[in-house]
Amino acid sequence: AQSVTQLGSHVSVSEGALVLLRCNYSSSVPPYLFWYVQYPNQGLQLLLKYTSAATLVKGINGFEAEFKKSETSFHLTKPSAHMSDAAEYFCAVSEGDSSYKLIFGSGTRLLVRP
Amino acid sequence: DTAVSQTPKYLVTQMGNDKSIKCEQNLGHDTMYWYKQDSKKFLKIMFSYNNKELIINETVPNRFSPKSPDKAHLNLHINSLELGDSAVYFCASSPSTSSYNEQFFGPGTRLTVL
């Protein structure tokens, strides 16, 4: 069964600093991987997804993530944090076409200091 | 022209009551979902419908009954509400059941059971 682990329930960075949010997955088949962002009191919005094309995926708002099969990782990065990036970030996995379900990680709250 | 809408946004009720949450999507999608987000922000799928047919039914108490009158609507009825039902409930939709599809989320319904 697939699962997702997000290391760090809270990550704090200074404005302008690198953002790195970690996600490791477990899957018995090649996975599809997603990063969603949730702003306060809102629903989730897709940042980017990996569906077995390029391993480096670019998303909205300057975020990108790299799929590393050998490390079973899909970490999210952004070169320079903005105050508006403060939100909850969720990594999710689905097991290719064998499953309709998205399995979410526990989320990482990103705090951006002025 | 909200893509996925939910009503109500907030729901405060007493233990033992019965309540419903409504969801509508205007994206023309075939597949809809209900998720529960607990107080620790953990997101878990509850149900999924494809073309009005139930395809995912996780281990959810029988007190929860989804209904899909048509492809654009998915409602959630909860009987005999309990304190542990307090959570944010999100509706989502996707074009089909294909696992690489992005899911589009509604703004959520915050249910508080007193």
Chain length of chain B = 114
Q: What is the pLDDT of residue A96?
A: 59
SS (H, E, C) chain B: CCCEEEECCEEEECCCCCEEEEEEECCCCCEEEEEEECCCCCEEEEEEEECCEEEEECCCCCCEEEEEEECCEEEEEECCCCHHHCEEEEEEEECCCCCCCCCEECCCEEEEEC
Share of chain A above pLDDT 90, in %: 73
Q: Report helix, strand or coil for A20.
A: strand
From A46, A96, A106, residue closest to B99, measured CB to CB: A96
- For residue B87, the number of C-alpha atoms closer than 13 Å in the C-beta half-sphere is 20
pLDDT band at B1 (very low <50, low <70, confident <90, very high): low
From B41, B92, B104, residue closest to A88, measured CB to CB: B41
Nearest-angstrom CA–CA distance, A94 and A1: 10
Q: What is the pLDDT of residue B52?
A: 87
DSSP strand pairing (B109-113 vs B10-13): parallel
Q: What is the pLDDT of residue A2?
A: 78
Share of chain B above pLDDT 70, in %: 99
Read off the pLDDT of each residue in A67-89 and give the average, rounded to a whole number.
Answer: 96
Q: What is the pLDDT of residue A31?
A: 83
Q: What is the pLDDT of residue A99?
A: 58
Verify whether the Cβ–Cβ distance A106 to B102 is below 8 Å: no
pLDDT single digits (tens) A37-70: 999 888 999 999 998 778 899 999 999 999 999 9
pLDDT band at B2 (very low <50, low <70, confident <90, very high): confident
Share of chain A above pLDDT 70, in %: 94
Both tokens of A21, joined, read 């949010």
- With beta carbons under 8 A apart, name residues in chain A contacting B97: 100
- With beta carbons under 8 A apart, name residues in chain B contacting A106: 40-42
Question: B residues 7-46 near A, CB within 8 Å?
Answer: 31, 40-45
- With beta carbons under 8 A apart, name residues in chain A contacting B39: none
The total of other beta-carbon atoms located within 10 Å of residue A88's CB is 20
Both tokens of A40, joined, read 């306060």
